[in-house]
A and B are shown apart, each in its own frame.
Chain A
Amino acid sequence: MLGERAKLNPERRRLAERAARTARLVAERNRRAMALDDGSVAERVAQWRSERP
């Protein structure tokens, strides 16, 4: 959406580029985190479920 704004007002381009770069870094980090998931959360949830009275 900041990209759309930058089309209307070129002064906004730097801000839009910064936002896009941040989005790219966050998306890359999240995808990497998903790929490296070691299953420990699911294991811990299963353990707590089994302990439930």
Chain B
Amino acid sequence: MSATNFFSGNPDLVEVFDRVIPWPAVVRAVEGVDANVDETVSTWREVLDVAGRYMASEIAPRAAEVDEIGVIRENGTVRMNEPMTENLRGLAELGLASPSVPAEFGGAGLPFTVTMMLAEMLARADLSTQVQHGIGWNSPAALILRFGTEQQKARYLPILAKGGLMGAVAMTEPQAGSDVGNVSTTATPAGDDCWLLKGRKQFISAGQGDMVIVLARCVAGSTGLDGLGMFIADREGDNYVVERAEHKFVIRGSPTCALVFEGTRATALGKPGDGWKQILTFMNESRLGVGIQGIGVATAALAKASEYAATRVQMGKPIREHPMIAEMLLDMETTVAGARALAYQAAVLQDRAIFGGDQAAARDARELTPLVKWYCTEGAVRVCRLALQIHGGYGVVDEYDVGRYMRDSLITPIYEGTSQIQSLMAVKDLMKWTMQRPSSLVRGGPSRLLASASFAGRGGADFAAARGQIVGMLRSVVGGLVRRRGVGILTSRACSASARS
């Protein structure tokens, strides 16, 4: 794995691009049926190659400095440090500030899959910069593109595409983390398409920027996930206050802010009252994005550990030739390759669902999203831990990068829904599908993706055995439910009630 280009120097990522992604389907979904597949894919590949070179040669060498300086807090203001600003400036100059913004608004118009490959490489170079790029530029742009009025698109997208303005998405509140239905920030209509926001938001990545998209309760008396809406608030004129940036030991260069809204003027983004439904599309994508972050950090850790293990000689041979170290490296490689295979399968499904309106793809993407978030981020922590261990005492010395990878990896199983929330989501869906089609339990289980796969040889036997264990577990759980609640639990009404509980 070469450190001079994070795309062409990463054979696994190149193989995914060249041999795994079903590009004709993606191009047709994103660009239309008449698009020239070869030409389009060749352009996307060139973008990745240029970006991979820039990220490896310019951004990765600045990562330690970004981390060491951290967030700048002076005179009551919060801002990014200079090397981080330089990183982002370079990305903007490459035309990659908000890669998913369509060309008609001045963006690169890249599909989700390619945007995620950029995100992986950037996370490998520096996770703090990737968070600022992804949340500060690309996420607000994606939401405005999807739900904005023509005026909102015209106002924000061209400037987000150029990197001339930075935004954020504010959902979390002090009392409402995973429990989104507990959001208490309010939006009150004030005439002329203006709404007034009141409340506090917490742990807002890239919250130091120029605008924010806020999830707020806009239907008086509503509770839970009903009655929410999304609103765009500009910061200009102290319209809202960046109260502070948290002091933290992960992604230290990225400001994680507390925001205060006191009569903040805002405009509605999408239909007030449909906020939950709308922001769910963002949450699915951002969860895949955090999974991809995990792959980026894990790739960085694997590369450093491989390099170190090849050159560090102990007992007369490089330590990678000691079987226990070799086992660790192989385990890391398998985890990263597996995570990457899983994540890009989900990314392609997301492209087909979002751009092509493919409902089967949407269902499969829904199945894979919590698994991607869980596996890629928990895997990242494990891979970074192993990389640290392979470095021995040097691993905890600041001048070696693996300590920073370890710290940064720790945020990925936490934000955008903890691993425990991902487990609940995955199990809930799996149970719902199982109870809707209990007959699947005598075949390969309710997951179409799992049930349809088969392989020859030893790997195939292990895969079939693993699937058998999973289906067996589901049988036990469903059997227990039927014994406790009766066969009626398998009807669709009982099933939805059970899935809610």
Complex interface: chain A residues within 8 A of B466 (CB): 20, 23-24, 26-28
Are A2 and B337 neighbours in the complex by a CB distance under 8 Å? Answer: yes
Q: Does B94 contact A (CB under 8 A)?
A: no
Complex interface: chain B residues within 8 A of A2 (CB): 334, 337-338, 341
Q: In the complex the two chains form, what is the Cα distance from A52 to B334 in whole Å?
A: 45
Given contacts A3-B463, A24-B469, A34-B476, A19 and B455 within 8 Å (CB-CB): no
**A-B pairs with beta carbons under 8 Å apart, 8 shown:** A1-B341, A1-B342, A17-B457, A18-B331, A20-B463, A23-B466, A24-B465, A27-B469
Complex interface: chain A residues within 8 A of B334 (CB): 2, 15, 18-19, 22
Are B465 and A9 neighbours in the complex by a CB distance under 8 Å? Answer: no
Chain B, residues 449-465, CB within 8 Å of chain A (1/0): the string is: 00001010111101101
Tell me the smallest distance from the CB of B474 to a CB of chain A, in Å. Answer: 10
Chain B, residues 323-360, CB within 8 Å of chain A (1/0): the string is: 00000001101100110011001000000000000000
Q: Does B33 contact A (CB under 8 A)?
A: no
Interface positions, chain B 466-489, Cβ under 8 Å from A, are: 466-467, 469-470, 472-473, 476
Are B462 and A17 neighbours in the complex by a CB distance under 8 Å? Answer: yes
Complex interface: chain B residues within 8 A of A22 (CB): 331, 334
Pick from A5, A7, A21, A35: contact of B15, CB below 8 A. A5
Q: Does B20 contact A (CB under 8 A)?
A: yes
Complex interface: chain A residues within 8 A of B333 (CB): 15
Using CB atoms, name the residue of chain A closest to B20: A5
Interface positions, chain A 1-45, Cβ under 8 Å from B, are: 1-9, 12-13, 15-24, 26-28, 30-31, 34-35
Are B453 and A3 neighbours in the complex by a CB distance under 8 Å? Answer: yes
Q: In the complex the two chains form, what is the Cα distance from A26 to B334 in whole Å?
A: 14
Tell me the smallest distance from the CB of B459 to a CB of chain A, in Å. Answer: 4
Using CB atoms, name the residue of chain A closest to B469: A27
Complex interface: chain A residues within 8 A of B476 (CB): 34-35
Q: Does B443 contact A (CB under 8 A)?
A: no
Are B459 and A17 neighbours in the complex by a CB distance under 8 Å? Answer: yes
Are A23 and B463 neighbours in the complex by a CB distance under 8 Å? Answer: yes
Using CB atoms, name the residue of chain B closest to A8: B19
Complex interface: chain B residues within 8 A of A16 (CB): 455, 459
Complex interface: chain B residues within 8 A of A17 (CB): 457-459, 462
Q: In the complex the two chains form, what is the Cα distance from A22 to B337 in whole Å?
A: 13
Complex interface: chain A residues within 8 A of B331 (CB): 18, 22
Pick from B15, B338, B462, B473: contact of A9, CB below 8 A. B15
Are A30 and B473 neighbours in the complex by a CB distance under 8 Å? Answer: yes
Q: In the complex the two chains form, what is the Cα distance from A26 to B342 in whole Å?
A: 17
Tell me the smallest distance from the CB of A39 to a CB of chain B, in Å. Answer: 12
Given contacts A16-B459, A20-B460, A21-B462, A5 and B341 within 8 Å (CB-CB): yes
Using CB atoms, name the residue of chain A closest to B454: A3
Complex interface: chain A residues within 8 A of B460 (CB): 3, 20
Q: In the complex the two chains form, what is the Cα distance from A30 to B212 in whole Å?
A: 42
Tell me the smallest distance from the CB of B71 to a CB of chain A, in Å. Answer: 38
Tell me the smallest distance from the CB of B423 to a CB of chain A, in Å. Answer: 11
Using CB atoms, name the residue of chain A closest to B463: A20
Extra contacts, 13 of them, besides A24-B465, A27-B469, A27-B470 (Cβ < 8 A), are: A1-B345, A2-B337, A3-B455, A16-B455, A17-B457, A20-B460, A21-B459, A22-B334, A23-B466, A26-B466, A27-B467, A30-B473, A31-B472
Are A31 and B473 neighbours in the complex by a CB distance under 8 Å? Answer: yes
Tell me the smallest distance from the CB of A33 to a CB of chain B, in Å. Answer: 10
Q: In the complex the two chains form, what is the Cα distance from A26 to B470 in whole Å?
A: 10
Q: In the complex the two chains form, what is the Cα distance from A31 to B15 in whole Å?
A: 34
Tell me the smallest distance from the CB of B300 to a CB of chain A, in Å. Answer: 19
Complex interface: chain A residues within 8 A of B337 (CB): 2, 12, 15, 19
Q: In the complex the two chains form, what is the Cα distance from A4 to B341 in whole Å?
A: 10
Pick from A9, A13, A30, A34: contact of B459, CB below 8 A. A13
Complex interface: chain B residues within 8 A of A3 (CB): 453, 455, 459-460, 463
Pick from B341, B457, B469: contact of A28, CB below 8 A. B469
Are A34 and B463 neighbours in the complex by a CB distance under 8 Å? Answer: no
Interface-central residue, B15, B330, B463, by most chain A CB under 10 Å: B463
Complex interface: chain A residues within 8 A of B457 (CB): 13, 17
Q: In the complex the two chains form, what is the Cα distance from A38 to B19 in whole Å?
A: 48
Interface-central residue, A12, A15, A26, by most chain B CB under 10 Å: A15
Using CB atoms, name the residue of chain A closest to B465: A24
Interface positions, chain B 291-332, Cβ under 8 Å from A, are: 330-331
Q: In the complex the two chains form, what is the Cα distance from A16 to B345 in whole Å?
A: 16
Complex interface: chain A residues within 8 A of B467 (CB): 27
